[in-house]
């Protein structure tokens, strides 16, 4: 870290120039080193009881997601039923963390999840492109919160970010945070469109400085979604941010995480980078849909001793 | 410098999803004077995943197309005839195995006429039954090459995909067959061949919930056969028990090995409207 102190941080967002100076003053990411470290941590062997523990934790961290134009109330209700009891055959299987839907489906999800303790997350701010006027983004956010969402997944303005208008990105996030009220705010960086790890680090800091409760990798709508090295950079950012300010921010990789093996690699990365404070559904989430079935199949394999097949789990 | 050339020796590897990986366990053993991969339960798991992924394309291909590809396999077998004989197999057995493959290839577009058709019903409907493949079939193959061909060919000709466990002491013919299959337009994953100890891997295959049927032709230990059959009951797999006496693979194979791995689909279609 640079020699920035917590008191300096209040001034870095005072002007575009100050914010740019701060963000460009962050230490650069060693690309080869980050990729090598992520790959190395991915080779850890997690077996038997540790694996069972990791699988249950990963299930509790899943934001079960459906973000399709073809979503219907029936499909969302079915997904909510799955969120409550992921494996109907096994009552010891924990529920997932949240359901993640489009704003129009929030009332359906809130009603179906009532009393379960499972959060309702809604994407907002002209997801997935974020290319809409600010008033529309704020209205989108307020509507989702009013409909019952207690977590909002917003997209940052990548157009402004890549053009170097960092303060605009910051102010937009801060305004959306304001519009969220009591709801948690997850800031989607869309790392697949940010080109470099340095940009990922800068965007992470903007998201945290602006008040985001979570920083999230991707919308899942562009070809390159969550990767281990990107998540590593983001985990380093939340770790440094807590060291500096005392405020803990969560991380949510989303998109492209489909297997239990992948999920466990992420958990190892969390433990080794940010520390075990983050090994909790309040501080680390997986944005996924197909991942859950693979976790359930692996869980079934561990409890029954025979390989499970997809015929015995729901098609989502 | 001596003129004697040092021969390049082959490592016999597994055949999974159209590729030749080593065992994920890194193990190997010596059989028939060669280094052969010793498959683990995780190789079984990977092979089932590959076989499952291949079901849609292979069962969805037209019977005519499957027949063409299987004929192509026979052509490739013919071309490598000397290689099989070089493994120590009797010439007559190799020829018989090639002929057996051609015979099964011919059945691909005929089995539905023999085992399907129009059913007479008392109503204004067409009622049609057609045989469909059951899905992924596990095979514990016998040590003879003719026996190997006689369990793989009938399973795949109807559109199933297979995970075949080669005999522990005679794996070379199976791996050589895999090399033939890999160069025959057969889509990857339709046939997966694992060498090693079936006594170690077969229980995982028999209990696997994503395998639809299992042929125990190569199991000689009756106690093992029974325990495999019990494991297979977990998801109601179809099971072909091994014959009590040593089977003669030269006999007329009949149609049972093909029809055992078929499901009958019957549709009612209104007529006259």
Mean pLDDT along residues B83-95: 96
Minimum-distance CB partner of A312 among B204, B207, B209: B209
A296 CB within 8 Å of a chain B CB:
no
Distance CA A109, CA A159 (A): 32
Name the one residue in this structure whose structure tokens are 């965007």: A203
Mean pLDDT along residues B214-236: 96
B149-176 pLDDT tens trace: 999 999 999 999 999 999 999 999 999 9
- Please state which of the ranges A281-285, A311-315, B93-97 shows the lowest mean pLDDT: A311-315
A230-246 pLDDT tens trace: 999 999 999 999 999 99
ipTM over 0.90 threshold: no
Mean pLDDT along residues B23-51: 96
B171-191 pLDDT tens trace: 999 999 999 999 999 999 999
Distance CA A150, CA A148 (A): 6
Nearest CA to A155 out of A220, A246, A231 is that of: A220
Minimum-distance CB partner of A308 among B44, B209, B231: B209
Residues 6+ apart with CB under 8 A from B211: A309, B48, B135, B136, B137, B138, B163, B205, B235, B237
Q: Chain A residue with minimal CA distance to B232?
A: A306
Task: Return the structure tokens found at B89.
Answer: 């197999």
Residue B273 pLDDT exceeds 80: no
Residue A3 pLDDT exceeds 60: no
Residue B220: its pLDDT value, please? 93
- The nearest CA of chain A is from the CA of B159 a distance in Å of 19
Residue B226 pLDDT exceeds 90: yes
What angle separates helix A31-41 from helix A260-273, to the nearest 10 degrees? 120
A201-211 pLDDT tens trace: 999 999 999 99
A156-178 pLDDT tens trace: 999 999 999 999 999 999 999 99
Residue B3: its pLDDT value, please? 80
Residue ranges with strand state E in chain B:
11-12, 28-31, 34-37, 117-118, 125-133, 136-140, 161-165, 191-194, 213-215, 238-240, 262-270
Residue A2 pLDDT exceeds 60: no
Distance CA A153, CA A183 (A): 10
Percent of chain B's residues with pLDDT above 90: 94
Chain B CB contacts of A51 under 8 Å are none
pLDDT band at B272 (very low <50, low <70, confident <90, very high): confident
Contact B204 A310 (CB under 8 A): no
Mean pLDDT along residues A28-49: 95
CB A104 within 8 A of CB A68: no
A75-114 pLDDT tens trace: 999 999 999 999 999 999 999 999 999 999 999 999 999 9
A45 CB within 8 Å of a chain B CB:
no
Question: Chains A and B: how many Cβ contacts under 8 Å?
Answer: 27
Distance CA B259, CA B254 (A): 10
Residue A152 pLDDT exceeds 90: yes
Residue A190: its pLDDT value, please? 96
Whether A153 is catalytic is: yes
Task: Return the structure tokens found at A142.
Answer: 């307020």
Residue A1: its pLDDT value, please? 47
Burial class (CB in 10 A: 0-12, 13-18, 19+), A286: buried
- Which residues are registered as beta bridge partners of B265? B130
Chain B CB contacts of A259 under 8 Å are none
Mean pLDDT along residues B25-38: 95
Q: Chain B residue with minimal CA distance to A300?
A: B209
Whether A30 is catalytic is: no
A47 CB within 8 Å of a chain B CB:
no
Mean pLDDT along residues A12-27: 94
Q: Which of A82, A137, A186, A216 is catalytic?
A: A216
Chain B CB contacts of A309 under 8 Å are 208-211, 235
Contact B210 A306 (CB under 8 A): no
Distance CA B65, CA B72 (A): 11
Distance CA B19, CA A185 (A): 46
Task: Return the structure tokens found at A3.
Answer: 């020699």
**For residue A60, what is the DSSP state?**
H
Does the domain at A20-306 match CATH 3.20.20.70? Answer given as yes
Q: What's the whole-number average pLDDT of chain A?
A: 94
Mean pLDDT along residues A253-260: 95
Residue B246: its pLDDT value, please? 84
Percent of chain A's residues with pLDDT above 90: 95
pLDDT band at A6 (very low <50, low <70, confident <90, very high): low
Percent of chain B's residues with pLDDT above 70: 99
Q: Which DSSP helix (H) or strand (E) runs through A162?
A: helix A158-162
Mean pLDDT along residues A201-227: 95
Distance CA B134, CA B162 (A): 11
Q: Which DSSP helix (H) or strand (E) runs through A287?
A: strand A286-288
Chain A CB contacts of B45 under 8 Å are 307
- Please state which of the ranges A199-213, A280-294, B185-199, B237-251 shows the lowest mean pLDDT: B237-251
Chain B CB contacts of A311 under 8 Å are 209-210, 235
Residue A10 pLDDT exceeds 90: no
Can you give the residue ranges of every domain in chain A? 20-306
Give the count of alpha carbons within 13 A of B260, CB side only. 25
Chain A CB contacts of B211 under 8 Å are 309
pLDDT band at A294 (very low <50, low <70, confident <90, very high): very high
Domains (ranges, CATH) in chain B? 11-23+40-247+256-270 (3.40.605.10)
Distance CA B139, CA B205 (A): 9
Task: Return the structure tokens found at A278.
Answer: 């983050």
Residue B271: its pLDDT value, please? 87
Residue A4: its pLDDT value, please? 64
Residue B11 pLDDT exceeds 70: yes
Q: Chain A residue with minimal CA distance to B211?
A: A309
Residue B247: its pLDDT value, please? 86
């Amino acid at each position: 870290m640079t020699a920035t102190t917590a008191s300096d941080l209040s001034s870095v967002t005072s002007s575009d120039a100050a914010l740019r100076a701060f963000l460009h003053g962050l230490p650069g990411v060693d690309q080869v080193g980050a990729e090598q470290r992520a790959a190395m941590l991915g080779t850890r062997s997690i077996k038997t009881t540790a694996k069972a523990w990791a699988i249950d934790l990963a299930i509790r961290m899943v934001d079960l997601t459906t973000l399709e134009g073809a979503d219907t109330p029936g499909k969302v209700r079915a997904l909510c039923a799955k969120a409550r009891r992921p494996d109907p055959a096994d009552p010891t299987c924990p529920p997932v963390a949240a359901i993640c839907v489009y704003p129009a489906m929030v009332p359906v999800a809130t009603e179906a999840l009532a009393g379960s303790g499972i959060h309702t997350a809604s994407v907002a701010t002209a997801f997935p492109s974020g290319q809409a006027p600010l008033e529309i983004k704020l209205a989108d956010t307020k509507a989702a919160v009013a409909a019952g969402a207690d977590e909002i997944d917003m997209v940052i303005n990548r157009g402004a970010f890549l053009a170097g208008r960092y303060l605009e990105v910051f102010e937009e996030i801060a305004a959306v945070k304001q519009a969220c009220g009591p709801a948690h705010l997850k800031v989607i960086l869309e790392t697949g469109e940010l080109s470099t790890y340095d940009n990922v680090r800068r965007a992470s800091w903007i998201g945290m400085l602006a008040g985001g409760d979570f920083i999230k990798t991707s919308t899942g709508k562009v070809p390159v979604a969550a990767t281990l090295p990107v998540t590593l950079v983001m985990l380093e950012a939340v770790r440094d941010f807590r060291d500096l300010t005392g405020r803990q921010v969560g991380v949510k990789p989303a998109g492209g995480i489909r297997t239990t093996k992948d999920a466990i690699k992420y958990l190892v990365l969390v433990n080794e980078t940010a520390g075990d404070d983050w090994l909790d559904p309040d501080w680390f989430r997986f944005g996924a849909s197909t991942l859950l079935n693979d976790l359930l199949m692996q869980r079934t394999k561990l409890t029954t001793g025979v390989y499970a097949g997809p015929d015995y789990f729901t098609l989502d | 410098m001596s003129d004697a050339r040092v021969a390049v020796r082959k490592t016999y590897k597994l055949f999974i999803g159209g590729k030749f990986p080593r065992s994920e366990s890194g193990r190997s053993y010596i059989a028939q004077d060669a280094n052969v991969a010793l498959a683990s339960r995780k190789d079984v798991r990977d092979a089932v995943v590959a076989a499952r992924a291949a079901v849609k394309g292979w069962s969805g291909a037209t019977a005519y197309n499957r027949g063409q590809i299987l004929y192509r396999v026979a052509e490739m077998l013919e071309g490598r005839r000397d290689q099989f004989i070089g493994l120590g197999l009797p010439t007559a057995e190799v020829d018989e195995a090639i002929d057996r493959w051609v015979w099964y290839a011919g059945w691909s577009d005929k089995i539905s006429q023999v085992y399907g058709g129009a059913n007479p019903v008392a109503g204004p409907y067409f009622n049609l039954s057609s045989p469909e493949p059951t899905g992924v079939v596990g095979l514990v193959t016998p040590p003879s090459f003719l026996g190997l061909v006689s369990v793989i060919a009938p399973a795949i000709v109807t559109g199933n995909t297979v995970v075949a466990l080669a005999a522990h002491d005679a794996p070379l013919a199976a791996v050589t067959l895999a090399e033939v299959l890999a160069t025959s337009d057969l889509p990857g994953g339709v046939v997966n061949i694992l060498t090693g100890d079936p006594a170690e891997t077969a229980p995982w295959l028999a209990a696997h919930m994503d395998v639809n049927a299992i042929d125990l032709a190569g199991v000689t230990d009756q106690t093992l056969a029974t325990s495999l059959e019990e494991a297979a009951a977990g998801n109601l797999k179809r099971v072909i028990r091994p014959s009590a006496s040593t089977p003669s693979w030269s006999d007329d194979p009949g149609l049972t090995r093909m029809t055992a791995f078929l499901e009958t689909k019957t549709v009612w279609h209104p007529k006259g409207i």
